[in-house]
Amino acid sequence: MPYIEKLCSLCEKLGCEYRLNEPLKNHTTFKIGGNAKILVEINSTDTLAELVKFLNKDSVRFFVIGKGSNILAHDDGFDGVILKVSNKFSNVRMTDENEIYCTAGTPLSELCLFALEHSMTGLEFAYGIPGTAGGALFMNAGAYGGEIKDVVVSARCIDKNGNIITINAEDMKLSYRHSIFSENTDYIIADMTFSLEKGEKSEIKSKMDELLQKRKDKQPLEFPSAGSTFKRPEGSYASLLIEQCGLKGMSAGDAQVSEKHSGFVINKGNATFADVLELTGQVKEIVKEKTGYTLELEPIILK
């Protein structure tokens, strides 16, 4: 039996939804990407473990996504299985006076609002980052002087054989947009705990509101994108270099360097993977030529 039929019956047995020939543009904030052969919505740690074990055993290509907010998916789609670890696998609770547990699919916004509700400070920086907790740990997401590295204690992940292993923060190799999970994609994050401090609810709320407002004022949130298109180069800022080179508003097809924030490439309608690669390729070349800085793409390529 081809793997797809076996996988569909396994999903049915495990009670998880799946869709065949699913457009990736419906699962990425860039709204770009062709069809995946099959997309499966993860609903529990056990389901994740079972599926990972099955896929590895049969050497089936698979790729994990969260909210798809840092992904640039190919126009030809993905000839394999997408495991979506998002809203269907969302759960957050207090485990100790200062510790919050959440599953990988928990949206960061929910995690931050939960922390606020319990007057816990430390996660305000993440409010407004449109990803899941799992995606944020993978990327060591950060903003406004904070990053996941500052608050994560440990995570449980699924290895190639479907076993659950615990990794402590000091072993996660967390640095700027990097983690052990981005080094070794065999580890699929299932859940994690964060250590926060007791704070003043009104102060936490006003910090969150202030940071969200900053995003609304500075970022082109009215257009699909994957957030910052380039990583911050050592010693400068991608947006500053792009602006200095006069590249604001430059476009290729429907992909454009945002007029509002030059660090963002936006999708003005029907931008393709090819448009984004062409545009970012040109931006990199001009920035290198005029400033000497080498820019590197931040979003993960899915193809």
Which of 36, 104, 172, 255 is close enough to bind ligand FAD by CB under 6 A?
A: 104
Active site residue 197: no
CB under 6 A: which stretch of 110-118, 181-189, 241-249, 276-284 binds ligand FAD?
A: 181-189
166 neighbors 187 (Cβ within 8 angstroms): no
Q: Is 9 annotated as catalytic?
A: no
Catalytic residue among 86, 154, 225, 228: 228
Closest to 11 in 3D by CA, of 92, 106, 84: 84
The answer to whether the Cα torsion of 159, 227, 23, 111 is positive or negative is positive
Question: Is 119 among the catalytic positions?
Answer: no
Under rule CB under 6 A, which residues in 196-215 are in contact with ligand FAD? none
Query: Closest Cα partner for 24 from 99, 85, 76?
Result: 76
Residues 221-260 that bind ligand FAD (CB under 6 A): 221, 225-227
Shortest distance (Å) from residue 59 CB to ligand FAD: 19
Show the 3-state SS of 50-67.
Answer: HHHHHHHHCCCCEEEECC
Tell whether residue 181 is a contact of ligand FAD (CB under 6 A).
yes
Distance separating alpha carbons of residues 12 and 9, to the nearest angstrom: 5
Contact between 296 and 231 under an 8 Å Cβ cutoff? The reply is yes
Least gap, CB of 163 to ligand FAD (angstroms): 15
Residues that bind ligand FAD in the complex, under the rule CB under 6 A: 29, 63-71, 85, 104, 129-132, 134-136, 138-139, 141-143, 181, 188-189, 219, 221, 225-227, 300
For the annotated catalytic residues, the residue numbers are 177, 228, 298
